[in-house]
Amino acid sequence: MINAIAIYLFIYISITKIRCSLHEKEKGGQRFGLRTMKYQGSTMINICDIELIGLKLEQGELTVNLSKEYFQQEIIEDTQAERLLRFCSIANLVGERIVGMAVDLKYAKEVSIKRISGVPFLMIFKFQHKY
């Protein structure tokens, strides 16, 4: 009897977590770390999938620290990230979701993505001519 109740509670809690997760995705629950700066008269953005911030990636002799200081001046939602991608001049992107968004918006192709320890990195530079 106790095992049946424990199994029931486990299933109930699991279903509740899945529903909450789906609800977050429906209302745009994707979050990113953002840092913006001006660079030679252009707007440069660094955006990282929030769950990657604080990780240290190592591949061979290369080590990349996804530090809060570099990537998390503030936390933004997916709608803000999309707007920033549209209007920035330079973008440094890290993570499946933000890099995928840039590819979906046609700012880059899959061949442009570099992976370090399996994590996608993408740099975008939009050429702007002023005559």
Q: For the chain, what are the domain ranges? A: 31-125
C-alpha 95/C-alpha 51 separation (Å) is 9
The structure's pTM equals 0.74
Fold of 31-125: 3.30.1860
CB half-sphere exposure, 92, CA atoms < 13 A: 14
> Which of 37, 41, 19 has its CA nearest to residue 29?
19
Show pLDDT as tens, one digit a residue, over the chain (131 residues): 555 554 554 554 555 445 444 444 544 569 999 999 987 888 999 999 999 999 999 999 999 999 999 999 999 999 999 999 999 999 999 999 999 999 999 999 999 999 999 999 999 998 765 55
